[in-house]
Structure 1
Amino acid sequence: MPILCEASARPDAHYQFLAGGLSGFLEIVCFHPLDVVKARMQIQGTTPVRGEVIYRGPLDAIAKIYRHEGLTSFWKGIVPPICVETPKRGAKFLMYELLKPYFYFGAPQATPLTHAMAGSLAGTLESFIVNPFEVVKVTQQANREKPLKTLSVVKYIIKHDGYGIEGLYRGITALVARNAVFHFGFFGFYNAIKDWVPISQDSASELLRKVSIAGFASSLACVMTVTLDMAKCRIQGPQPVKGEVKYRWTIDTIRTTFREEGARALFRGLGPMVMKSGPGGALLLVSYEYLYDFFKTKNF
């Protein structure tokens, strides 16, 4: 999630790119364990597969993952997002800034709809960059045995499934839908709420205001997209029966999940998703602004 800024990104693109990448790295390292918990909860069905443990909730999942797999298992699949995070943050932020002028719709200045539309399109374009990394990450996170090496997973997927919609780009429609909706909600909510809440003259209070709004906006966006995220994880992760593709397309995955597991399953993983994205969005905001100001002041 890039940070909202009214100034043009182009003059200081290198500062924004570097600050966004480093803040994204910090967010991943701190909150990746919750991403592992979310993925495990979304992939599992209502009954154990091959004797696998069922997670009854976020805290239960945390306890069981730690008990059966150890502390390091919470960072399974961290290499792919780290590899893509710097270019992803930089590219998305620059796209967002460049796209904003096209969505003023006659208004004299950017409105919440302007930010929502620009953010949504930037998130959509970003999907085509990160999808292969998401497939590898989810595959690693779903594995309950010893950690899988990233390059080994990449080679295996390419060898058996290829580069296309069955391989590194499986789940692309779900990811595009999730990113488009999430960024529309996040940017829209953030800017709308920010305009409603009075600006504080105290620097600490103003920082708290921005952090609170960013966290709240991110949490609302999570609620809007949890079902799409669940579908993405099921399509990109290991299938319930080896050799059979049960989850292939977004709408079909949602229908099948609803029919077999009920409406509650459509919101599986919402707890860890909000726990990760709420504070994660706030952390990203604080670290980005601090790093951006630091780089600009030091004239790197």
Structure 2
Amino acid sequence: MEDLPPPTPSVPAAPTVETHEGEIDYEGLGENVPLHINMIAGSLAGITEHAVMFPIDVVRTRMQVLSTVPDASYTSMTQAISRIWTGEGFRALWRGIASVILGAGPAHALYFGTYELVKDFTGGNREGHQFASTAFAGAAATIAADAFMNPFDVIKQRMQLYGSGFSSISECAKVLYREEGLRAFYVSYPTTLTMTVPFTAIQFATYEWAKKVLNPAETYSPLIHALSGGIAGAAAAAFTNPLDVAKTLLQTRGCSTDPEIRSATRMSDAFRLIYRKEGWRGYWRGITPRIFTHVPSNALCWLSYEGFRYVLKQEQKLF
């Protein structure tokens, strides 16, 4: 009988569980993983990420809004949480979460599915750190996902505002459409892309870099995935905060009593208003809760994504 050739080292015949050092041998990310597995894992990760960090996202929105109402102005994240909780009740920290859950699942499925497809097509799964490929794949992923998610994000932020009288996402959507038209759901989309394209490019490139630096053997390590995701989230959040402040102004402009803010329709309008009213410091409104949101949420997102994808792939092999 002829000798069988040994399996190729870079593509294991089957994943195995390693009992030493708490690590699981895992096939390379993006390689040999079906697209639907990436999309389901991404969907579950997105819902998990947004649901867990939603109260901090409420604080970020409140702190970024240019408001003349004293009760709607906050100087720190802890002050904001305390005042929202005591003045409006615990439920106020979760107002609008239904919009996020409804949109985040399919948006993240589209996000991670696009990312893996484009990364593989552009050579991002080759050996070594493929910065250009991962950055381009991340940018392509966010263009597709944000086109779907933007209306849900607008509804979410309208419901998060101080004094919001909306009791459901359907009510908010109807009022928004009736008073401001279909354009209101997408007026911030160019600004959103201007922010999220570099955000996602920085995030994915930093994540892939950190993961390979911290885990050269590329074994499945939940700790490394979470740590790499947190590092990527902090870097991307800090760099793009001014754009996020401009996006919030455009998405909540219809609720403002300031006629200049209500008439703002472009990113340049938002930047000009922010600078005139608060100077350079206005662009950094809410940076603390933004970083505080993205470090654990990105860590949780990548941890969930890699974990769900690993489990789903093993389940597929059993049937």
> CA shift at 1:249, angstroms?
1.1
Q: 1:8-47 maps to which residues of 2 (within 5 A)?
A: 12-45=34-67
> CA shift at 1:293, angstroms?
2.1
Q: Name the CA shift for 1:115/1:222 in 2 (closer, same or farther; >3 Å).
A: same
Q: Which runs of 5+ in 2 are unaligned?
A: 1-27
Distance (whole Å) between structure 2 residues aligned to residue 136 and residue 150 of structure 1: 7
Give % identity: 26
For 1:260, the equivalent position in structure 2 comes to 277
> CA shift at 1:85, angstroms?
1.3
1:195 pairs with 2:195: no
Aligned residues: 287
1:138 pairs with 2:157: yes
Q: Which runs of 5+ in 1 are unaligned?
A: none
Q: Name the CA shift for 1:6/1:110 in 2 (closer, same or farther; >3 Å).
A: farther
Q: 1:1-300 maps to which residues of 2 (within 5 A)?
A: 5-7=29-31, 12-45=34-67, 48-49=68-69, 51-101=70-120, 103-104=122-123, 111-145=130-164, 147-164=166-183, 167-199=184-216, 206-239=221-254, 240-241=256-257, 245-299=262-316
Contact 1:19 1:292 in 2 (8 A): yes
Higher-Rg structure is: 2
Distance (whole Å) between structure 1 residues aligned to residue 129 and residue 117 of structure 2: 13
Distance (whole Å) between structure 1 residues aligned to residue 119 and residue 229 of structure 2: 19
TM-score, structure 2 as length reference = 0.82
Distance (whole Å) between structure 2 residues aligned to residue 180 and residue 81 of structure 1: 20
TM-score, structure 1 as length reference = 0.87
> CA shift at 1:64, angstroms?
0.8
Contact 1:124 1:177 in 2 (8 A): no
Contact 1:123 1:183 in 2 (8 A): yes
> CA shift at 1:156, angstroms?
0.8
> CA shift at 1:189, angstroms?
1.2
Q: Name the CA shift for 1:190/1:94 in 2 (closer, same or farther; >3 Å).
A: same
